[in-house]
Amino acid sequence: MTKANKQKTRKRRRLVLTVVIGLVVAGMFVAALVPKRLPVDMVSVEEGDLLVTVDEDGQTRVKDRYMVDAPLDGHVGRIELDAGDPVEEGAVVARIVPLSPPLLDARTKAEAEARLAAAEAAKRQAGATIARAQAAMQLASLEAERLANLGPTGAVSLQAVEQSEFDLRAKREEVASARFAARVAEHEARVAEAALGRLGAKGVKGDEQLEVRAPVGGQVLKVFRESEGVVRSGAALLEIGDPQALEIVVDVLTSDAVGIRRGAEVMIDRWGGPRPLKAHVRTVEPSAFTRVSALGVDEQRVNVIIDLDEPPEVWAELGDGYRVEARIVVHEARGVVKVHDSAVFRHGDGWAVYRVDDGKAVLTPIEIGARNGLEVEVSSGLTPDMVVIAHPGEQVEDGRSVRSR
């Protein structure tokens, strides 16, 4: 190869190298000018059911509980029962030996006579309460039967039928509670009569004693006086109740209580069982109270009383004073378009989302309905086949290229 040919070859190589470097620089420059696709989190718009609930901690308690107390002054023997022991109605739970002379003075006798009179009045009042509750239950039964027959014809709404069934169930519970109160009143009268008989005796034998009997059957919930000793009239001895008749007390903010209706569906979580328990709201107490929150803020709260719908054998492990978590349904929508709450944000006077269309973010105004903190009902603006951006940041703009993170 001649010297001239070598020089030409070198020039060609320099030219090719210069062109390649120029193309690379131009490509880098163009790439720098083209906006990068922003990585974002994407969620799908779905169609389904939406539940709006009020979630609060609650506590179980026995519905009908009876405090057994000393009917008169005396010396009580050691109570051999422990918490959790079963007791039958009429069983002896404590024995009181008279103290002399206090059990024989005129003042104590007069107090016992007054107590007997009050117990007899309570018996009559309990009988009237049972009669009133039974009449209300019969009326609720007739109403529920009438609406149940009209329901299939469409003459009345399904809600009216369900409300009548709930009213009937509530009236039955009122009758059961009234009968329990009547048994308690009868027991009070027997105790007062027995105490008056002891006081009316001319003398007290050394082995004479007053037997305190259980007014109802159930279990011992708490023993207040385990050791023997002198007790005053009215001193608490033990507490008896039926653990299978449980209710749940949940205190909620008054602003949330406004939306809670009697008979509303409730789901009981974290009670210790394998699945949530079904329940319903029996009543929302009419009077609120003030409670200081964990942040030191005064809150107005009100108690919501909840009845379990499951049979007792399902929640047999639950006892009095157990902690549970209640989810009270305040709104239920079936077959609605919904989207994750994190995708919805304020836009002007309304709401909007960033919809992903062909790899680009598209600002889409929407109208929303109910929301539960996790999902939002979309009344218009979206369809179930769309994809939107969750947690859109300041870098997301209308028309910006995006990709799934």
Run of H or E residues at 166: helix 158-200
Q: What is the CATH number of domain 83-241?
A: 1.10.287
The residue-averaged pLDDT of 143-148 equals 82
pLDDT surpasses 90 at 138: no
Q: Tens digits of per-residue pLDDT, 308-359?
A: 999 888 998 888 889 999 999 999 888 999 999 999 999 988 999 999 998 8
Backbone φ and ψ of 17, nearest 5°: -65, -40
pLDDT score at 198: 56
Structural contact between residues 184 and 119, judged by C-beta atoms closer than 8 angstroms: no
Backbone φ and ψ of 114, nearest 5°: -65, -40
Q: State the DSSP string of 106-146.
A: HHHHHHHHHHHHHHHHHHHHHHHHHHHHHHHHHHHHHHHHH
59 or 317: whose pLDDT is higher?
A: 59
Class of domain 52-60+244-333: mainly beta
Tell me the whole-structure pTM to 2 decimals: 0.61
List of residues 6+ apart from 265 with CB closer than 8 A: 278, 279, 280, 328, 329, 332
The Cα 255–Cα 325 span in angstroms is 19
pLDDT level of residue 277 (50, 70, 90 thresholds) = very high
The Cα 238–Cα 82 span in angstroms is 9
Query: Looking at domain 39-47+335-404, does it have CATH number 3.30.930.10?
Result: no
Residue 242 CA: distances (Å) to CA of 5, 330, 352: 112, 31, 54
In the chain, what are the domain boundaries?
Answer: 39-47+335-404, 52-60+244-333, 83-241
pLDDT score at 204: 44
Q: Tens digits of per-residue pLDDT, 109-136?
A: 777 778 878 888 888 888 888 888 888 8
pLDDT level of residue 248 (50, 70, 90 thresholds) = very high
pLDDT surpasses 80 at 395: yes
CA atoms within 13 A on the CB side of 153: 7
CA atoms within 13 A on the CB side of 59: 5
Q: Give me the chain's average pLDDT, please.
A: 84
Task: Establish whether domains 39-47+335-404 and 52-60+244-333 are of one fold.
Answer: no
The Cα 348–Cα 180 span in angstroms is 61
pLDDT surpasses 70 at 64: yes
pLDDT surpasses 80 at 156: no
Residue 261 token pair: 């209706």
The Cα 318–Cα 390 span in angstroms is 41
Residue 112 token pair: 């016992």
Residue 53 token pair: 């609930």
